[in-house]
């Protein structure tokens, strides 16, 4: 669908109370996003996107998670939803950067937000819910890439498959919580009073270690910050087994992002430099894998 056609459809949504102005919101990697200013009701964000089965993104699940996250007090209110579009209240805010996420004055609030996602959101979640087991997702990505000629990761697939098997064995038993599973810095908003967590495309039941590892791997944490993160989340110094499982999840998170990039190169129609994303995460994965094996 062309952007002009999308904007026309947004303008016709029945949730508006007055004339609207619509502006594209730059930066989405899975959806197209727009800020809508309703002359009578204020500002809203409209997320435009259909199901993406190859990535496990199902919009019924995203909508349920976004509503539950609002009920838990950690995400903006969903005011309207129709197939292919989700309308939420706009939060005037600063979008965090990886440098912000690593800053001591933010980390405690971020961890509190993650913990509330894990334990408060499922209390409000209604209807069917997805699981997000990263190793299942990795297996699906590997199978998809195996069947696609000319993908950039083709020379790496055998080694990445072996890596995934070793990492899954290393994680060990898990606790099940409601994970956000996409803790990029850009999914945290600071309105000057508090933090918000947004974008629930990949929400699903998972190990808490994955969100913690995902936060770390996406935002460049070092070993000292990893240990501080785990202590902050669990309220105590963790044992060697937990730290080993976290290190395995950190590699798994980077592996999943690498394969996500490879699949997106082949399937996505969004204007984004997916090849660069894939190369960057593959290098980060190789660095983390070396540390995991020799740490």
Annotate 172-219 with DSSP letters as a single string. -S---EEE-----GGGEEE-SS-EEE---TT-EEE-HHHHHHHHHHHH
Show which of 34, 66, 89 is a domain's final residue: 89
Predicted pLDDT of residue 146: 92
Of 218, 195, 213, nearest to 112 (Cα)? Answer: 195
Predicted pLDDT of residue 1: 65
pTM attached to this predicted model: 0.94
Q: Does one domain contain both 58 and 173?
A: no
Q: How many domains does the chain have?
A: 2
Q: Does one domain contain both 145 and 249?
A: yes
Q: Does one domain contain both 224 and 257?
A: yes
Predicted pLDDT of residue 29: 73
Q: Does one domain contain both 185 and 279?
A: yes
Q: Does one domain contain both 132 and 56?
A: no
Q: Does one domain contain both 115 and 252?
A: yes
Predicted pLDDT of residue 203: 98
Specify burial of residue 25 (Cβ count, 10 A radius: 0-12, 13-18, 19+).
middle
Show which of 54, 89, 124 is a domain's final residue: 89
Q: Which domain holds residue 18?
A: 3-89
Which residues of the chain, if any, have pLDDT below 50? none
CATH of residue 66's domain is: 3.30.200.20
CATH of residue 145's domain is: 3.90.1200.10
Q: What proportion of the chain, given as a percentage, has pLDDT over 70?
A: 99
Of 179, 248, 232, nearest to 240 (Cα)? Answer: 248
């Amino acid at each position: 669908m062309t952007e002009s056609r999308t904007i026309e459809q947004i303008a016709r949504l029945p949730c508006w109370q007055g004339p609207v102005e619509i502006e594209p919101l730059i930066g989405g990697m899975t959806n197209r996003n727009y800020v809508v200013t309703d002359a009578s009701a204020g500002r809203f964000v409209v997320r435009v996107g259909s199901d993406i089965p190859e990535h496990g993104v199902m919009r019924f699940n995203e909508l349920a998670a976004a509503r539950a996250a609002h009920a838990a007090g950690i995400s903006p209110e969903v005011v309207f939803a129709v197939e292919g579009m989700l309308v939420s209240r706009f939060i005037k805010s600063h979008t965090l950067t990886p440098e912000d996420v690593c800053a001591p004055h933010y980390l405690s609030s971020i961890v509190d937000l993650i913990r509330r996602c894990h334990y408060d959101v499922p209390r409000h979640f209604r209807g069917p819910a997805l699981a997000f087991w990263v190793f299942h997702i990795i297996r699906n990505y590997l199978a998809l890439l195996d069947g696609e000629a000319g993908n950039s990761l083709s020379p790496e697939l055998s080694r990445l498959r072996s890596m995934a098997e070793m990492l899954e064995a290393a994680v060990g038993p898990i606790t099940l919580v409601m994970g956000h599973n996409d803790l990029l810095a850009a999914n945290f908003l600071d309105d000057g009073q508090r933090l918000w967590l947004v974008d629930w495309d990949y929400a699903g039941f998972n190990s808490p270690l994955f969100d913690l590892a995902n936060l770390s791997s996406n935002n460049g944490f070092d070993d000292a910050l990893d240990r501080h993160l785990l202590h902050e989340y669990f309220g105590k110094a963790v044992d060697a087994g937990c730290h080993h499982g976290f290190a395995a999840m950190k590699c798994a998170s980077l592996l999943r992002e690498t394969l996500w990039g490879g699949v997106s190169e082949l399937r996505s129609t969004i204007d984004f430099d997916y090849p660069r994303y894939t190369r960057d995460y593959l290098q980060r994965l190789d660095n983390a894998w070396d540390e995991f094996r020799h740490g």
